Structures are given as structure tokens and as C-alpha cells.
Amino acid sequence: MIKDIYTQKRTVFSLEVFPPKNDTDILSVYSALDGLKALNPDFISITYGAGGSTSKRTMDIAAYVQKQCHINALAHLTCVSLDEILLGKFMEELKANQITNVLALRGDRPRDMTDGDFHSRPYKYASELVSIIRQNYGFCVGGACYPEVHPESRDQESDLYFLKAKIEAGTDFLLTQLFFDNSKFFSFYEKLRHAGISVPVSAGVMPITSINQIKTIVDLSGAYIPSRLKELFEKYRNDPEDFKKAGLEYAIEQIHELLHHGVQGIHLYTLNKVDTSTEIFKNL
């Protein structure tokens, strides 16, 4: 189980991949996984599309990671669009595929979901999913956390209050939302410990390698862009190759600093890219 790896290693290295939008593209994800496997990560997490849209592909990819790549798979699962029957089915399939790790999430509301459907979901928050998965299935359960505060939270204090409840419900470890400014992570980490949250935390890092990526990433994560990174974006705006190089260098430096501070884990958002992930691992 993933929680045991954190007790055995000084730093846990993990990767995240996402399922394709349709079945025909799944082979390209398998081929990316064959490349990522060579990086020998401690685990690979597989995202779950908004509202369960990728449920089957999430399962297929998780099974590939676990059984073909022989790497611990961490399957993401979201409350949105989930009910008791779907949860039971998903968990039984995970077991059948020898997977025992789940990242329990609330999930974001899909664009086409009505207010009524969103507000009447059987499981409201990730903590409910955590406690059911722990009690009924005995899986190892991870959770998400937000160094720059979850966008719907009133403030950091209330975010930490509910995060603590999620830990008390049985969360074994945390993966952070991506961030570009390490000082945000360091100060968040101190607050976690001060709040009595002592589970291992992996820092989420995403290399920015193209100008088109920036807006989506910032819109989705709300991450603060430090001025040094902004300057790089401006300097290489018209040169995709140099832009990619600079983005990778920034991510490598960011990880070096995190490692220097003794972070318990690095979770790399790979965007299914083997070349950039390999370049980063090679330089650590």
C-alpha cells in the first residue's frame, strides 16, 4: 500500500496521468506508461474525469499500471455523479485488478450538470468517501490539499478545519494541488503541522512547457505565478523550443529546492508526456 512506502523512503516519487477522451486513444496512454515506467516511480495516479465520464478508462489504465507495469496504481475517484452502487462496482473492480489505493476526491461540477443534480449528490465531500472506503473496503486512501487554499473555501483557516476532518475520516496521505512558488508550500506545510495534521504530504509539481498551457493551468488551479516565471514566459513567448527548455529548468529547480527542504514526496503532473518527465527525472 502507498502509505507504507512513505514510511520506508525518505522521498516518495510519483507521477500522474490522465485517461483519454475516447477509447481509441487509450493505446497512446499505454505507450506513454511504457516510457514512464522506466523512471521507476513509487506509484502512478490516474485521474477520474468530471462526473465519472472516464470511469472505465480510469479503471483500464489503473489495471495496466498495476498489472502490466508492476507499479502501484492510485486510482482517483470523485463524489460527483457517484452513488452507492457505482462506488461498490468501482471498488470491486479495483480489488479484482489487485489495486488497493484510491485518491478520494469531491470532484468539480461538470459543465452540463444541473444545480439540482450537483446539490443532491449522495456523497457531498471527499471526507465522506474517505470514511466509506476505509471502513467498507480497507483500502489505502489519499486526499487532495491546497497550499494556496481551495477556491471555494472562505479562508485558509476553514480549509484547514475541513482538511483535518478529512484526515480524521481516515486519509493516509495527501497530494497537493500544483503550485509554482515553493514558499506557498513551505508555509502551508507548517500550518498543517501546527493544526495537528501529521500524514505524509507530496508536493505537486507541473512543468510548464508551452505558452498554450498557462491559461488553462492557472484557471484550473488558481496557482500564483512568481515574477521569475512570468519573466521567462515573456522572454521566450515566441520561441517554443527555448520556452520548453526554460519551463523544464524552472520545474527542476523547484523540485531541487523542495528536496533540499526535506519534502516527503514529489508528485509530478506529467500530462502523459514521457520526454519532459524523463528530462526532469534525469536532472534530479
- Residue 141 touching ligand FAD (CB under 6 A): no
Stretch that binds ligand FAD, among 4-12, 26-34, 65-73, 105-113 (CB under 6 A): 105-113
Nearest Cα neighbor of 274 from 209, 203, 201, 179 is 209
Can you tell me which of 107, 200, 207, 247 binds ligand FAD, judged by CB under 6 A? 107
- Residue 50 touching ligand FAD (CB under 6 A): yes
What is d(CA 6, CA 154) in angstroms, rounded to the nearest whole number?
A: 31
Can you tell me which of 108, 117, 249, 257 binds ligand FAD, judged by CB under 6 A? 108
Residue with cell 526554460: 246
- Residue 246 touching ligand FAD (CB under 6 A): no
Q: Rank residues 47 and 270 by Cβ distance to ligand FAD and give the closer one.
A: 47
Can you tell me which of 166, 171, 250, 266 binds ligand FAD, judged by CB under 6 A? 166
Stretch that binds ligand FAD, among 23-31, 93-101, 103-111, 233-241 (CB under 6 A): 103-111
Active site residue 16: yes
- The distance of closest approach from Cβ of residue 245 to ligand FAD in the complex, given in angstroms and rounded to an integer, is 27
What is d(CA 236, CA 209) in angstroms, rounded to the nearest whole number?
A: 11
- Residue 121 touching ligand FAD (CB under 6 A): no
Can you tell me which of 44, 126, 252, 280 binds ligand FAD, judged by CB under 6 A? 126
- Residue 105 touching ligand FAD (CB under 6 A): yes
Indicate which residues carry an active-site annotation: 16
Q: Under the rule (CB under 6 A), what is the footprint of ligand FAD? A: 47-48, 50, 76, 78, 105-108, 125-127, 144, 150, 152-153, 159, 162, 166, 175, 177, 204
